[in-house]
Structure 1
Amino acid sequence: MKRGVTPSFQDLYGHPPETIVQAPGRVNLIGEHTDYNGGFVLPMAIPQQTHVELRKREDRRVRAFSLNTGQRGEILEYELGQEDRRKRWIDYLQGVTYVLRRAGHALTGFEVRIHSEVPLGSGLSSSASLDVSLLRALRQAFSLPLDDVQIALLGQQVEVDFVGAPVGVMDPMAASIAGVGVALFLDTREMRFERVPLPPGVDLIVINSGVAHNHSAGDYRVRRAECERAAELLGVKQLRDLTEADLPRAEKLPDPLGRRVRHIVTENARVLATVEALRKADLPTLGTLFYASHDSQRLDYEVSVPEIDLLVDLGRADPDVYGARLTGGGFGGSVVMLAREGAGAAVAARIARRYADQSGQRPAILLPQAPVSRQA
């Protein structure tokens, strides 16, 4: 393998793949941290995808290569039935085979090559995109009787039960069933969903701040534990069971539990209002809801960081932006903005430039998408 040359599946394993699949990343329009509280979310797929090529083996050996690890030529291996968390990218693959075997699905070994266009730690669900693409590849290769919702639920189990990231169901559901340009209105308790098109007159912007996050790290776990404790103290199974009428009682909880409850309750209400605004193509109301959501994440849920706040403030100051907010789990990641139709590319470019000048970070514009050459 020549230095600097991207290895193909043939280069790595000496034969072509049998299965080639993809799964997208996602941007969440609104509904942050509500999924693990049984609430409402509104994600949509983005054009960036994770690509998986796979070929079955006759033994129980799994051999895997990722173009995104920055380590050329490194093939990692393990035996089916001997999955052991290593705190490396291969844990996602080990988690996939672990949950499939636990669910009673028969597998043999296989070889896999992975290439993701979804930036890691960007708040755009790179891990869910990886989980779902791997599950799709194995479903196809081994003729597994799994539908798209089952794929998503298994993807969540990979993160929670093996990788150790206590995520909700939104990300794998978005990677498995959402589309580009159409929001997925999902009730995470009842697992009911509806597709809601974006209205005319708006461009969607997604800018990665350059500040990476990690859902298996401590802050995300702390927020989830705070919500569980608040629900227990308020005598409900999940914070989804509360309404705005319950907020005076919730606000008497020890700080910061009351503020955590207030974010979840008001964010659920904002998702419902956003769906109605989308249906009515009410762009000013959508913008107001975006900013209110960000302020709630910043003040009540405390998951924003100064760089993200700067990007949102730059959006507030731009006459062509209706609204902007932190998207994803927080502590870094990306912002999503709604801009006047036809202005999105120019708006994204000038906001990214101003942000880079003021923050010293290197932002990346994910939407509107510039033409890219695929390495898969």
Structure 2
Amino acid sequence: MHNPLINHTCKAFQSAFQSEPEHFFLSPGRINILGEHVDYNDGFVLPAAIDKYICFAVKKKQDTETCTLVAIDIEESFSFNINEQQSPVEKAWANYLLGVVEAIQKNGKTIGGLQVAFSSTIPMGSGLSSSAALECGFAYILNALFDLQLSKKEIALIGQKAEHTFVGVQCGIMDQFATVFGKENKVMILDCNSLEHRYYDARLEGYRLVLFDSCVKHTHLTSGYNDRRKDVEQGKQIIRSHYPEMTNFRDVTEEILIELKKEMGEVVYRRCLYLVKEIRRVGEAVQALSENRPEDLGHLMTETHTGLSKEYEVSCNEIDFLVEETLTEEGVLGARMMGGGFGGCSINLLREDQADRISKTIEKKYREAFGIQMKVYNVNISEGIKEYTANAFII
């Protein structure tokens, strides 16, 4: 299944380094069924790894202190000394990897020289978390090749720290956790405070998860993301000033928010209201999955989009159009924005026998409305990061 990507990455490695790679690793993107923007807000999320990957071709170099990275898809490379203290550089993509090295160095671990080439089938900027796949995939590689004895949890946290310190996005842990801990045909409910997690069968017989990529990414993603964090932190402080025992949003009720609305102000109130309702929806979605009630799951997805668009305000005209038009079609159980926002993908729960027709219809409507060719991704729920050799995973 993965051979085209592996073959492409292998050939690019051979061309870049005039030698053969010794290892291949596949690091998946992720979807989030429900729980958007609550991973950094004390909540529960419902993610899964998917069969879109970054493939890394790798070779250890015993006689050098240099690590050379080749980003195949954008035809760029970057080299650095593994024994020097790392700092952010102008090449944005390299910072995800340098941040990983710095986090490992601060853990007192040592790595050696390396040649790495990587290519991806995860669409960039589409909300499928190519950044977490890049960070955590690289951390996983360093752990495996240099016997760093990091746990999966530590690998996920290193990926998150790299994004915080070297990229400047104060992301939660969900993306990294899903990339590392994903299981085939399973969704996980993750407690973003304790990092405890449980798996549930993704029983969607007769239905399919399909992503509609708007092919837009508005430039205020990072600033908007960090602004939302400030808003909800302000709301949390106001809540604690009145209810000191409430240490996180999962303890808060809508009634408490209504009581404090005037003090919060309209914007902060809406941000907090979305979070309180979304945390509740995740619990209801787990029940729907457990009891094989896809219609209820779809309804919750649609409710989430309304909250993301109107309360948390991280959607955009293109994504709102995709969701609204999709919901008018027969055979649609639910649709919503997915990812950080301001573009990217919608995730849609569709009847399997109607999915192709719906996709073509929405594709046409979107092109007529915005002049943009939408992309369609059928996704399957997959394993987390793995080494790959001779058509088999090494676990």
Per the normalisation by structure 1, the TM-score is 0.92
Match of 2:327 among 316, 334, 341: 316
- Counterpart residue number, 1:61: 66
Distance 2:337 2:177 in 1: 20
The one-character-per-residue Cα deviations of 1:322-342 (angstroms, maximum 9, x if unpaired) are 000001111111110111133
CA separation of 1:117/1:272 partners in 2, compared to 1, >3 Å: closer, same or farther?
Answer: same
The one-character-per-residue Cα deviations of 1:215-268 (angstroms, maximum 9, x if unpaired) are 872110000111111111111543333133422224331120000000000000
Q: CA deviation at 1:54?
A: 1.5
The 3-state SS of whatever aligns with 1:251 is helix
- Counterpart residue number, 2:265: 254
The one-character-per-residue Cα deviations of 1:130-176 (angstroms, maximum 9, x if unpaired) are 11111121111112212222211111111012221110000000111
- Counterpart residue number, 2:80: 78
The 3-state SS of whatever aligns with 1:211 is strand
1:41 lines up with 2:45 in the alignment: yes
Q: Is the 8 A contact 1:41 1:170 kept in 2?
A: yes
Distance 1:282 1:339 in 2: 14
- Counterpart residue number, 1:10: 14
Q: Is the 8 A contact 2:221 2:340 kept in 1?
A: no
1:171 lines up with 2:171 in the alignment: no
The one-character-per-residue Cα deviations of 1:320-372 (angstroms, maximum 9, x if unpaired) are 11000001111111110111133323322322232222221221112158xxx
1:330 lines up with 2:335 in the alignment: no
CA separation of 1:129/1:215 partners in 2, compared to 1, >3 Å: closer, same or farther?
Answer: farther
Q: CA deviation at 1:310?
A: 0.6
The one-character-per-residue Cα deviations of 1:283-328 (angstroms, maximum 9, x if unpaired) are 2211211111000001100000000001101111011110000011
Match of 2:277 among 252, 266, 273: 266
| Equivalent residue runs for 1:122-271 within 5 Å | 122-199=126-203, 200-212=205-217, 217-235=222-240, 236-252=246-262, 253-271=264-282
- Counterpart residue number, 2:361: 350
Q: Is the 8 A contact 1:247 1:262 kept in 2?
A: yes
Distance 2:199 2:364 in 1: 34
Distance 1:246 1:19 in 2: 54
Aligned residues: 362
RMSD (Å), alpha carbons: 1.8
Q: CA deviation at 1:195?
A: 1.2
Distance 1:214 1:53 in 2: 31
| Percent of matched pairs sharing the same residue | 32
The 3-state SS of whatever aligns with 1:346 is helix
Q: Is the 8 A contact 1:166 1:215 kept in 2?
A: no
Q: Is the 8 A contact 2:186 2:202 kept in 1?
A: yes
Q: CA deviation at 1:17?
A: 1.7
Per the normalisation by structure 2, the TM-score is 0.87
Match of 2:100 among 73, 96, 105: 96
Distance 1:228 1:50 in 2: 34
Distance 2:69 2:198 in 1: 36
Bigger helix share: 2
Q: Is the 8 A contact 2:261 2:269 kept in 1?
A: yes
CA separation of 1:368/1:94 partners in 2, compared to 1, >3 Å: closer, same or farther?
Answer: closer
Q: Is the 8 A contact 1:76 1:90 kept in 2?
A: yes
Q: Which amino acid aligns with 2:295?
A: P
Match of 1:367 among 351, 374, 378: 378
Tell me which stretches of 4 or more aligned residues in structure 1 moved more than 6 Å: none
Q: Is the 8 A contact 2:333 2:349 kept in 1?
A: yes
The 3-state SS of whatever aligns with 1:274 is helix
The 3-state SS of whatever aligns with 1:36 is coil
Q: Which moved more, 1:165-174 or 1:333-342?
A: 333-342
**Which sections of structure 1, spanning at least 5 residues, go unmatched?**
370-376
Distance 2:44 2:367 in 1: 34
Q: Which amino acid aligns with 1:206?
A: L
- Counterpart residue number, 1:374: none
Q: Which amino acid aligns with 1:319?
A: E
Q: Which amino acid aligns with 1:77?
A: S
Distance 1:15 1:358 in 2: 49
